[in-house]
């Protein structure tokens, strides 16, 4: 996608709240944006590095919980020691969420080198489950199923406007959009760099990658940390927008949602998760009146299977392919016309 087209897309989304006043739809878009950021981060692991990481929701949730807890303050007793933290400003909490998620990523990255393929899938799923169960049971810290409530919204100092608290949807929308663009750009720079090449290399042919000096473990760990940190950022956004966080954020179904977004959109491409995210973020809302949620999920499941069977690369590469052959056909036709003329 050319620079111009990308800018046009961003401009479109920037302008959206100006002409689309339906608050409910704005809410849907914010949720979609948050999930899309998470999907982009998953794509870095699943698509580019080829790691079967199915515990991604763990990074999202860790980011959400950490950010929420740091902004609310907490005091908890563990093995006889009491840890107390006074509430901190939201921007600081948000960064803490990113750091904690990144740490979790580091752990998973290290483990993933020892444990490959199908085993790794299971480790990542188990990890997310363990984190969910901890969140559910460590009521002292997380309030368990009673959830963390009244999480403060984002408060930022903005030029010209001074310090503003994001109570309404519109500022949150722009916040999510800004983070989404930043995340996209981070991933793009990473992927189009030497490190990005190493990731693709280790996905395609690990022994060969090693033979030219690529440190596979290190590349994997770096990719996982970045991926986890971005997912953690998405989690933080979630925490301060929805302002309630409960252990259900760790449900496997959310990882599946992200996987569907990435795979259907096109794994290993930059725009794939964006397309997939928008599609599966907005679709449920359109289908809401037409079909029960169960039916929707059946449709998603079927879509997944159909895409894997017929468009295994996903939507974005397929469209790219069609556009390319269309371009070739058009060029061929105009050339033929010129010949005849």
Partner 1 sequence: MEQFFQHVVNAQILGGTYALLGIGLTLIFGIMRVVNFTHGELYTFGAYMLFMFVMLLGVNFFVGILLAIVLGVILGALIEITLLRPIRGADIDTTMLVMIGAWIAMQNLEQLTWSGIAKSVTAPFPSEPLVVAGVSVGWDRIFVFASAIVLIVGAHALIHRTQLGKAMRATFQDRETAALMGVKINRIYTATFALGSGLAAAAGALLAPVFVVYPTMGDMAALKSFAIVILGGLGNFWGAALGGFILAFVEEFGAGYLSSGYRDAMGFLLIIIILIFRPTGIFAQKERIG
Partner 2 sequence: MSNEGESLLEVERISVRFGGLIAIADLSFGVREGEIVSLIGPNGAGKTTAFNAITGYLQPASGEVRYRGRRLTGLKPNQVAGIGVVRTFQKTSLFEGNTVFDNVLIGLHRAGRQTLVGILLRLPGMREEERRLRGQAAEVLDFVGLAHRAEEYASALPYGEQRLLEIAVGLAAGPQMLLLDEPASGMNPAETAAFMKMIQQIRDRGITILLVEHDMRMVMGISDRVVVLNQGEVIAEGAPASIQRDPEVIRAYLGSGATHA
Q: Which three-class secondary structure state does DSSP give residue 25?
A: helix
Binding-site member from 45, 179, 209, 237 for partner 2 (CB under 8 A):
209
C-alpha of 168 from chain center: 23
* Contact between residue 46 and residue 53 where contact means Cβ atoms under 8 Å apart: yes
Residue 214 engages partner 2 in binding (rule: CB under 8 A): yes
Q: Does 99 bind partner 2 (CB under 8 A)?
A: no
Residue 75 contact partner, candidates partner 1, partner 2, none, CB within 5 to 8 A by sort of partner: none
Quote the CA–CA distance of 24 and 106 in Å, as a whole number: 38
Given partner 1, partner 2, none, residue 156, with its beta carbon under 5 to 8 Å by kind, binds none
Answer with the entry of partner 1, partner 2, none that 193 interacts with (C-beta below 5 to 8 A by kind): partner 2
| Residue from 32, 281, 11 nearest 173 by CA | 32
Shortest Å, Cβ 176 to partner 2: 21
Residue closest to 257 by CA, chosen among 229, 280, 291 = 280
Helices 3-19 and 169-191 cross at an angle (nearest 10°) of 170
Q: Does 180 interact with partner 1 (rule: CB under 8 A)?
A: no
Contact criterion met (CB below 8 Å) for 280 and 261: yes
Cα–Cα distances (Å) from 64 to 4, 147, 338, in that order, read 34, 12, 61
DSSP symbol at 249: G
59 near partner 1, rule: CB under 8 A: no
Q: Which of 6, 121, 282, 287 binds partner 1 (CB under 8 A)?
A: 121
- Residue 210, interface with partner 1 (CB under 8 A)? no
328 binds partner 2 (CB under 8 A): no
HSE value, Cβ hemisphere, 13 Å, CA-based, for 244:
7
In the list partner 1, partner 2, none, the entry touching 186 (Cβ below 5 to 8 angstroms by class) is partner 2
User: Which residues of the shown chain bind partner 2 in the complex (CB under 8 A)?
Assistant: 186, 189-190, 193-195, 197-198, 200-201, 204-205, 207-216, 222, 226
Positions touching partner 1 (CB under 8 A) are: 46, 50, 52, 111, 114-119, 121-123, 125-127, 129-130, 133-134, 136-137, 252, 256, 259-260, 263, 292-295, 297-298, 300-305, 308-309, 312
């Amino acid at each position: 996608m050319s620079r111009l087209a990308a800018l046009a897309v961003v401009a479109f989304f920037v302008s959206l709240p100006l002409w689309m006043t339906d608050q409910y739809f704005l809410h849907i878009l914010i949720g979609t944006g948050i999930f899309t950021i998470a999907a982009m981060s998953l794509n870095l692991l699943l698509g580019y590095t080829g790691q079967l990481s199915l515990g991604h929701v763990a990074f999202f949730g860790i980011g959400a919980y950490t950010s929420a807890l740091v902004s609310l303050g907490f005091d908890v007793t563990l093995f006889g020691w009491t840890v107390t933290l006074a509430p901190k400003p939201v921007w600081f909490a948000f960064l803490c969420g990113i750091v904690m998620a990144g740490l979790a990523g580091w752990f998973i990255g290290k483990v993933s080198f020892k444990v490959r393929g199908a085993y790794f899938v299971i480790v990542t799923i188990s990890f997310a489950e363990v984190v969910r169960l901890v969140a559910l049971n460590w009521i002292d810290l997380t309030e368990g199923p009673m959830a963390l409530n009244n999480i403060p919204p984002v408060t930022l100092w903005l030029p010209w406007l001074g310090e503003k608290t994001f109570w309404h949807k519109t500022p949150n929308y722009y916040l999510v959009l800004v983070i989404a663009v930043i995340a996209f750009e981070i991933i793009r720079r990473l992927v189009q760099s030497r490190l990005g090449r190493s990731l693709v290399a280790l996905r395609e042919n690990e022994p060969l990658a090693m033979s030219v000096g690529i440190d596979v473990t290190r590349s994997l760990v770096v990719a996982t940390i970045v991926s986890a940190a971005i997912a953690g950022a998405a989690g933080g956004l979630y925490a301060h927008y929805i302002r309630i966080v409960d252990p259900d954020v760790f449900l496997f179904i959310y990882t599946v949602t992200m996987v569907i977004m990435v795979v259907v959109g096109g794994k290993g491409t930059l725009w794939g998760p964006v397309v997939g995210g928008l599609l599966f973020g907005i679709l449920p809302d359109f289908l809401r009146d037409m079909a029960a949620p169960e039916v929707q999920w059946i449709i998603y499941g079927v879509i997944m299977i159909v895409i894997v069977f017929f468009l295994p690369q996903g939507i974005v590469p397929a469209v790219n392919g069609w556009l390319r052959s269309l371009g070739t056909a058009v060029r061929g036709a105009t050339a033929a016309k010129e010949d005849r003329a």
